[in-house]
Amino acid sequence: MAAFREASPDQAELLEALVEAGLLVPSGVPGVYGRGSDFEDVRQRFDAYVTRAAAAAGERPEVLRFPPVLPRRQIEDLGYLENFPHLAGAVFAFEGTEAQARAMAETAGRHEDWSAHQCMTDLVLTPAVCYPVYPAIARRGALPAGGVTIDPGASYAFRHEPSGDPARLQMFHMRELVRIAEPETVQTWRDGWRDRALALLVDLGLDASFDVASDPFFGRSGRMMAASQREQALKFEILVPIAAPEPTAVASFNYHQDHFSGLYGITTADGGTAHTACLGFGHERIVLALLHTHGLDVAAWPPEVRTLLWGAEA
Ligand code: AMP
Ligand code: ZN
């Protein structure tokens, strides 16, 4: 069993208030919630706000959309199970006889463990929205001059980290943008978006700041991976206070160097190895930060914040 992280008193109080206000709908499983209309409205408005910011910065990202499942082959090749075995979720399904189906249903009817009746499928739940982008671009052959910028949208990502903290979900929306190009182009893009995203969040009245960060690599060797990632400043996060104690990472900016392009064989127009970077806004965390900062009554938010998200409708 994955360790369940208990909520802090502030996190438990925020969750209760969100449920009471109809902003979140509990499912009975920690970290899995439905969303009420105000929550969903703000989430979608924020997504559009990011899309407008990209256009205002002169970007014309190519839109690609993928379902929230990946071929399991992909996380096997990427070393995800070495780095993040604790977060992965695989899809299993039944392939047996009628008698076996009856046995499975009976076990399940008693709410006992029915996993012995299940087989592994070719799918896992997507842990990061950019993962399907890299093989898709590799399939096209060498990059055009200047590389590509891809908008894989705000799709669901799964991470098996059950928690009582409403900001730590098992299934959540991650809005990504991906840049694949020459190393310098990619780094400049990543840093430009880090600064742009910070301004976008500060403009929404959030007490946001960025810092060097690392991914939650597993185990003792994972601690070394995390230290090296920090040393090379490969990952930045924007942090905003939600419920105490610590500020929460609401967006991340990742420079993968040739991790994905080497594996999939993505080359630049002149035959060099491309590098990749991505950014991810954690939608639910940003909505929670806004609700925590401006109050649970969305209609009563400061007019300047409402104008940025709702435009003329504010
Ligand atoms: P990462 O790929 O871990 O950098 O995640 C991208 C963004 O998704 C983070 O900056 C968070 O805002 C958000 N995120 C990551 N894990 C969770 C989670 N368990 N619950 C909610 N949002 C998350
Ligand atoms: Zn990504």
Tell me: the pLDDT tens digits for 129-158? Answer: 999 999 999 999 999 999 999 999 999 999
Averaged pLDDT for residues 223-249: 97
For ligand 1, pick from 200, 246, 285, 290 the residue to mutate: most ligand atoms within 8 Å of CB.
285
Which atom of ligand 1 is closest in space to residue 280's alpha carbon? 6
Q: Whose CA is nearest to atom 13 of ligand 1?
A: 282
Segment holding 180, helix H or strand E: strand 171-181
Q: How remote is the CA of residue 282 from the centroid of ligand 1, in Å?
A: 5
Confidence of residue 248 (pLDDT cuts 50, 70, 90): very high
- 249 pocket-lining for ligand 1 (C-beta < 6 Å): yes
Q: In this structure, what DSSP letter does residue 77 have?
A: H
**Does the CB atom of residue 279 touch ligand 1 within 6 A?**
no
Look at the pTM and tell me if it is higher than 0.85.
yes
User: Between the CA of residue 167 and those of 104, 108, 293, what are the distances in Å?
Assistant: 35, 31, 14
In the predicted model, what is the mean pLDDT of residues 92-113? 98
Quick one: pLDDT at residue 3? 85
Given a contact cutoff of 8 angstroms between Cβ atoms, the answer to whether 255 and 180 are in contact is no
Cα(207)–Cα(93) distance, integer angstroms = 45
Q: Is the shortest distance between the CB of 280 and ligand 1 below 6 Å?
A: yes
pLDDT of residue 2: 62
d(CA 117, CA 108): 10
pLDDT at residue number 312: 84
Gap between the Cα atoms of 180 and 278, Å rounded = 9
Nearest CA to ligand 1 atom 6: 280
Residues with CB under 5 A from ligand 2 (ion): 128, 130, 278
- Interatomic CA distance for residues 71 and 67, integer angstroms: 11
